Amino acid sequence: MSYQSPEKHTHTKEIIFRTAAHLFAQKGFDGVSMREISEQSGVTKPTIYYYFGSKEGIYEALIDSGLQHVISSFEEIAHIKVSAKDKLVMMTKKFFQLTVDAPDFSKFFMTLAIPLSDNTVLEKFRKQMFNQGNILKTVINEGIKSGEFGAAARPDLAAQIIGGVWQHYAWQQLSTKKKILSEELAEEIIEILFRGLNE
Amino acid sequence: MSYQSPEKHTHTKEIIFRTAAHLFAQKGFDGVSMREISEQSGVTKPTIYYYFGSKEGIYEALIDSGLQHVISSFEEIAHIKVSAKDKLVMMTKKFFQLTVDAPDFSKFFMTLAIPLSDNTVLEKFRKQMFNQGNILKTVINEGIKSGEFGAAARPDLAAQIIGGVWQHYAWQQLSTKKKILSEELAEEIIEILFRGLNE
DNA sequence: GTCTACATACCGACCGGTAAGTAAGCTTTG
DNA sequence: CAAAGCTTACTTACCGGTCGGTATGTAGAC
């Protein structure tokens, strides 16, 4: 996991943070105990409570930190002055890169995406995922306006399909040790979808 | 949940089965306790152990039963004598229909797909998911052989993309109360992917 | 009298969380 | 400038509650 948490943590807090990310990614929220985090991080349990307040507290901290990282990455790309198609390729590459570089965080975020019902913590996350979809939609709309995509292209459908393919490939990557995500694959995928979506 | 478990269960066993499916779908394996299944099904805890042996036992029974149902549905379609493209459309419709009709089971299967590491129970499931991908690949290969798809079409990539889009839409559907999956959507999606994949 | 289909009552282990204390540094005050 | 008090960053030891699982019993069918 090469992901750097954006806020400045003390050393101890950072260790707790990373250990928790790793464990939650492997076993999900309910599959991990505070004892486990404590033992694996070498930090006593009350110390974890001192920094994060509760089990949900760590969870939320991980969500916030990860979201901040991912969203800023995509918005950066959205503002570069290249064609809409190139933006889609760059975003796909970025997404693949994040998945490969920080598999723990990616896996963790995958577990969040599953709509387990009673988890109120996750509303924030869902909203942001929705926003990510909107970034895609904005890029596609841009391409329609500029004539790069045909006027009949359907931004909603396109954003859904692209997001779906991203997620699916991340999934695949996280299930295997072989490296399947690559820059070439990102280009191929967008090429195919571009052809299909661009009526 | 309108899904019928294929084996003949006693009344009591069937109730446990359905209650467990519902709860696991909502909260995942670790989020559900045997007490909860017991109380919500009105069956005492030792009775559950009598029928299913362990918590993992129920889980496995649900996986087996669901897989059997899904796979036979797709294989049925694969053997119908229509064009490859029509098969893809039919499979997509079938997938959407399963998602809408049996959301509990769909959600349950979604939670399985996340590669949480230490769950040995899931190897069987993964293998079968892989087979589902192979059914898609077979259909696409068929289409290439018959000239329906261009010779340059790439069955692996295509199967991945289609499977990914399925999963993504199921996901979307399970997160909302609005009905977003429809036969028209299935046709549109395959139309787009067909154009894109068919060089 | 044996087998099926359950129920009552209990087990030790582990859960999330906390009360109470402390050692080290920093800040205020006589 | 030093003693007193406050704050930060923890630790030891424990809590009531819940976990997955089971030993034992029994009522009815065959």
pLDDT band at B56 (very low <50, low <70, confident <90, very high): very high
Closest chain B residue to A163, measured at CA: B168
The answer to the question of residue A68 being in a domain is: yes
Measured between beta carbons, the chain A residues lying within 8 angstroms of B28 are 28, 30, 114, 116
| Tokens linked to A139 | 């890029």
Q: What's the pLDDT score for residue B146?
A: 92
**Cα(A117)–Cα(A105) distance, integer angstroms:** 22
ipTM of the complex: 0.81
| Domain extent at residue B108 | 63-197
B172 and A CB contact within 8 Å: yes
Quick check: A45 CB within 7 A of strand D?
A: yes
Beta carbons of B116 and A31 less than 8 Å apart:
yes
Write down the residue that tokens 């007490």 correspond to. B35
CB of A78 closer than 8 Å to CB of A140? no
**Cα distance between residue B154 and residue B161, in whole Å:** 11
Find the radius of gyration of the CA atoms of chain B: 19
Which residue of A27, A30, A193 is in closest CB contact with B118?
A27
User: What would the pLDDT profile of A83-99 be if each residue is shown by its tens digit?
Assistant: 999 999 999 999 999 99
Let me know if A175 is exposed, middle or buried by CB neighbors in 10 A (0-12, 13-18, 19+): middle
Token representation of residue A135: 């970034």
Please give the span between the terminal C-alpha atoms of chain A, in angstroms, as a whole number. 41
Q: Which of A111, A115, A188 sits opposite B114 (nearest CB)?
A: A111
In a domain, residue B130? The reply is yes
- How high is the pLDDT of residue B174? 87
Residue B147 resides in a domain:
yes
Contact B161 A171 (CB under 8 A): no
CB contact under 8 A, B168 and A169: no
Nearest nt to the A32 alpha carbon by C1': C15
Interface of B with A in 19-58 (CB under 8 A): 26-31
The model's pLDDT over B90-143, given as tens digits with 9 standing for 90+, comes to 999 999 999 999 998 888 888 887 766 555 567 777 777 788 889 999 999 999
Q: Is residue A13 part of a domain?
A: no
Residue A56 included in any domain:
no
Name the burial class of residue A128, with classes exposed (0-12), middle (13-18) and buried (19+) by CB atoms within 10 angstroms of its CB: middle
Our count of domains for chain B comes to 1
Instruction: For residue A97, give the CATH number of its domain.
Output: 1.10.357.10
| Residues B79 and B168: beta-carbon distance below 8 Å | no
* Tens-place pLDDT, residues B135-175: 999 999 999 999 998 888 889 989 988 998 998 899 889 88
Measured in degrees and rounded to the nearest 5, phi and psi for residue B102 equal -130, 65
Q: Considering the domain boundaries, does residue A6 fall inside one?
A: no
pLDDT score of B152: 81
A37 half-sphere exposure, CB direction, 13 A CA radius? 32
pLDDT at A4 over 50: no
**What is the model's pLDDT at position B7?**
47
Q: Is residue B33 in a domain?
A: no
Q: How close is the nearest chain B Cα to the Cα of A194, in Å? A: 7
Binary contact (B168, A161; C-beta < 8 A): yes
Q: Is B2 helix (H, G, I), strand (E, B) or coil?
A: coil
* Closest residue, chain A, to B186 (C-alpha): A157
Distance CA B167, CA B133 (A): 12
A18 is a domain residue? no
Phi/psi at B2 (5° precision): -105, 10
